[in-house]
Structure 1
Amino acid sequence: MKTAAVLVATSLAVANATISVPGINYNPRIGPNWGPDATNCKSSAQIDKDFAILAKVTKGVRIYSLTDCNAGELVIGAAKKAGLTVWLGLWVGPLPSIFDAEKVKLTELIEGGLVDSTVVGIHVGSAAVSRNDVTPEIAIANMKEVKDELATAKINVPVTIADYADTWAANPSMVEAVDVVSANQYPFWEKKNASDSAAWFYKRMEPVIASAIKYKKKILISETGWATGGAAEKASPATPAQAAKYFNDFSLLAKQMDWNYYYYTSFDMAFNANETDTNNVEQHFGLFYANGTMKPCYANLTVSGASTVVTKAPSQLATVTPAPKATPANKTDNTTTTPQNRLLRPRRQPRPPSRPRRVPR
């Protein structure tokens, strides 16, 4: 009876939701990165269930790794069933073997015919340059290897590197090399009030926009979000009200700028705690609770108003790349790093991270 009640609540919460996002980040992990996949990764059936929920609020999902939890194969399969598109990610760490394993998996997916119209883009590395795992030159070289393999297979999708706005601004060679500028940005990690965060977001993006214009590249916001609970010393207030305010204001800014984006993230990850201290906000970034119920702050939200952040946009502003349009509604050498910057305990297996973390400014 309890399970049935949860399913009914989940269905009603999603059915009544008025929010939507063009795309959303997704992680098939349910347990620590160092544990066995059998107990720490979602099954194919669980991913299918997740995607049936997500399909009511988005048209596309984005992942960070092809190998972790066999995400590439399972996510593409589930996306086909749910009518979703997928933006694939290959994880890049300081050890070349990590990227090599990701590339081997990409080859398998291509040869198996899975990289078809369901796949709308690929990023090679997530904040690897910001973490100093690789240099910009190596990041570009890795990306070009993937582009060459896709070209050989006659697969035409945008290929990029995902990293923070400051890193893009500091490395115009990356902007010049990619098909689209894939930028991550979190006002949440700058101790901002949600009411000020859309303006802060745009300010951080201004030099990236200028560089994108110079090289005639489009911009994709690949990660942004706000925690609804927990605490961290260097984080903004993590409350449902703040999270809803940021969602509202960022959505309006994205509309004003004609930005497509992948919001962070789909479901809360209870396992996603910092093992070395009491910082636990990283468990609470989901639009949905782990059980699939949409959080009330989002289920009851109607995005309203108009963004006034940008009063004079650049006249040749590049618009955004193909994250699908919505309908209404690491370190791997025995230490863990994630797209933000705190270190956790040694990891037993070289796997990609599962949460957004601050990077050095």
Structure 2
Amino acid sequence: TTAGFSYFIIKYYLFKGNEDGFGLWPTLFGSIGALITTVMVIPIVAKLSKTIGKKKAFIISQGISVLGYVLLWLLFIPGKPYLFLFALPFFSFGIGSLFTLMMSMTSDVIDIDELNTGKRREGSLGAIYWWMVKFGLAVAGLLTGLIYSLVDFIPNAATQSDQTMFWLRIFFSLIPILGTLGAMWVMNDYDVDEAKAIEVSALLQKRKAQKKQSSAYLSGKLLSLDSNANVLNTPMGLDLSSKSEAEIATQFSEILNNGLHGLCFSPYIEGQDTGDVLSENQIIRRLDIITPYAKWIRSFSCTEGNELIPEIAHKKGLKTLVGAWISADKERNEREIQSLIAMAKAGLVDMAAVGNEVLHREEISEQELIGYIQRVRAALPDSIPVGYVDAYYQFLDKPALVDACDVILANCYPFWEGADNDHALSYLNRMVELTQLVAIGKKVIITETGWPTKGNNVVAAEPSQLNAMKYFIAVQDWAKNHEIELFYFSSFDESWKVKQEGEVGAGWGIWDKNENLKFK
């Protein structure tokens, strides 16, 4: 649009329609503007963005372009076409900064989106950006003809009226100024500065470097451990293939209403992250929801408000598997251990778990962990079993760890193994069998198992509402028939897990993040 208007402004305003000497100047307008953009504007804008940040660089650059439009209004002087060349360096900052900074800002948005959702969607977000650019060009092309009509522009005429040229210059200078000011106002809310972009990038790199942050482990683990892997391809348990989704939902509700052995308690509400202090009210509210459906709850920490969970749970008649969070942070470990011991001595702990997947995360050694377990075991009454929670396979080659535990607390996830939902129970059954073989007669309790409702597939394991209900029904029936104590993961969806596992991390709950039952 600008290029088209500039051609006719030069021809009919500067040269009054006179063809002599006119042809060079429209070419100079475009070519010199492009040359200035390439040689001067882009390097300056790039330097500015690194010095003062992309938002400020954008606003300053667009402000300079506004000055350029004003100068073009003033320096389009009939008979003196060379004067408008002095406006081009300022005018060129508009388009030059736009395409220099917008793609860089889009990259920052892509990183933030990946951090929040666990998905890398540069294709989708880049397509949206360029679709908007193309849409803008299409609208501009459409408006060009409309504007020519509004200003009474006469095609192929020898001259144009003064009124026509006045309004054409208004659309060439004033309207873009208003649009640019609007863009500057919108961009004022852009809050991604250089420090935040670097922080987000570092968090993404840290996430990619630390592959063992959660219960997620490499698919096919069981297949690599078990010489009798053929049994995994044999369906077992209830046959739900002939049931409709409505019938499965009804059966799910019946099992839930009849009560579960245990639930993993998810205390963090929307907007919270691990490390945030839990309030008594949020714990009470969520325990009120799940109390009618479980005999036991499992907690994961004894600090940052988590220490309130056992007492509140006991008051509601629930038994407690209380976990001390063990990590590479030795000072926190001491606080966790001391809090666990204090709660146990106060009669608030029915079973104690010293650590959760800390070996899986490779944060401390097995010997350090055993030391913590032995300290807690020595401090607690014999009536309170003490164990350690980790993926089932962590116990298979660690006899000293098994020996240190009163009970074997195993997390078993056919989903993370990449198991097809129809064979998931065979995977779970085999995980427990292998763990029982090394448990030297000690009770094996499944402390986590579940199936997500959303997110990406893991090989043949597909997250969905239907698959989650089928798995829940199958494992609850299997656990009852095999007299296996099982804590289902999890009670509520928690958005903070997206940062560790992607979208699938936020879909493990029986209730959603807003505390509504997901399966009806």
Q: Do both share a fold (TM > 0.5)? A: yes
Is the aligned partner of 1:33 residue 2:278? no
Paired amino acid for 2:280 = S
Contact 1:188 1:236 in 2 (8 A): yes
Paired amino acid for 1:27 = S
**1:15: how far off?**
10
Contact 1:22 1:58 in 2 (8 A): yes
Cα 1:143–1:16, aligned 2, differ >3 Å: closer, same or farther?
closer
**1:181: how far off?**
0.6
In 1, the alpha carbon distance for the partners of 2:288 and 2:312 equals 9
For residue 494 of structure 2, what is the aligned residue in structure 1? 269
1:119-138, aligned counterparts within 5 Å?
119-138=349-368
Cα 1:16–1:171, aligned 2, differ >3 Å: closer, same or farther?
closer
For residue 477 of structure 2, what is the aligned residue in structure 1? 252
In 2, the alpha carbon distance for the partners of 1:110 and 1:252 equals 32
Paired amino acid for 1:282 = G
For residue 216 of structure 1, what is the aligned residue in structure 2? 441
For residue 465 of structure 2, what is the aligned residue in structure 1? 240
Contact 1:227 1:238 in 2 (8 A): yes
SS in 1 for 2:496: coil
Q: Deviations over 1:8-56 (max 9, x none)?
A: xxxxx9899535320101132224436653xxx3x21221121121111
Q: Deviations over 1:172-196 (max 9, x none)?
A: 2222221011100111112222110
For residue 71 of structure 1, what is the aligned residue in structure 2? 306
SS in 2 for 1:289: coil
Cα 1:235–1:159, aligned 2, differ >3 Å: closer, same or farther?
farther
**1:131: how far off?**
1.9
Contact 1:25 1:265 in 2 (8 A): yes
Q: Choose which of 406, 410, 413 in structure 2 pairs with 1:183.
A: 410
Q: Choose which of 314, 317, 321 in structure 2 pairs with 1:80.
A: 314
Q: Deviations over 1:281-325 (max 9, x none)?
A: 1111011112222112xx4xxxxxxxxxxxxxxxxxxxxxxxxxx
For residue 424 of structure 2, what is the aligned residue in structure 1? 197
TM-score by length of 1: 0.68
Contact 1:48 1:82 in 2 (8 A): no
1:43-82, aligned counterparts within 5 Å?
43-67=279-303, 69-72=304-307, 74-82=308-316
For residue 339 of structure 1, what is the aligned residue in structure 2? none
For residue 99 of structure 1, what is the aligned residue in structure 2? 333
**Unaligned segments of structure 2, at least 5 residues:** 1-251
1:153-172, aligned counterparts within 5 Å?
154=381, 156-172=383-399
Q: Deviations over 1:147-205 (max 9, x none)?
A: 1121xxx4630000111111111212222221011100111112222110010112222
**1:260: how far off?**
0.6
For residue 3 of structure 1, what is the aligned residue in structure 2? none
SS in 1 for 2:495: coil
Q: Deviations over 1:320-339 (max 9, x none)?
A: xxxxxxxxxxxxxxxxxxxx
**1:235: how far off?**
7.7
In 2, the alpha carbon distance for the partners of 1:292 and 1:55 equals 13
SS in 1 for 2:257: coil
Paired amino acid for 1:286 = G
In 2, the alpha carbon distance for the partners of 1:15 and 1:205 equals 26
Paired amino acid for 1:226 = W
SS in 2 for 1:274: helix
Structure showing greater Rg: 2
Cα 1:236–1:141, aligned 2, differ >3 Å: closer, same or farther?
same
Cα 1:245–1:110, aligned 2, differ >3 Å: closer, same or farther?
closer
Q: Deviations over 1:180-237 (max 9, x none)?
A: 111001111122221100101122222211112xx22111111101101222556821
In 1, the alpha carbon distance for the partners of 2:275 and 2:372 equals 28
Is the aligned partner of 1:90 residue 2:324? yes
Q: Deviations over 1:96-123 (max 9, x none)?
A: 2231121232344356x3xx1x421001
SS in 2 for 1:216: coil
* Bigger RCO of structures 1 and 2 (CA < 8 A, at least 6 apart): 1
Contact 1:14 1:294 in 2 (8 A): no
Runs of 4+ in 1 over 4 A off after TM superposition: 13-17, 232-235
Give the paired residue count: 268
Cα 1:208–1:15, aligned 2, differ >3 Å: closer, same or farther?
closer
For residue 294 of structure 1, what is the aligned residue in structure 2? 517
Paired amino acid for 2:517 = M
**1:94: how far off?**
2.1
In proportion to residue count, which structure has more helix? Answer: 2
Cα 1:34–1:85, aligned 2, differ >3 Å: closer, same or farther?
closer
Paired amino acid for 2:287 = F
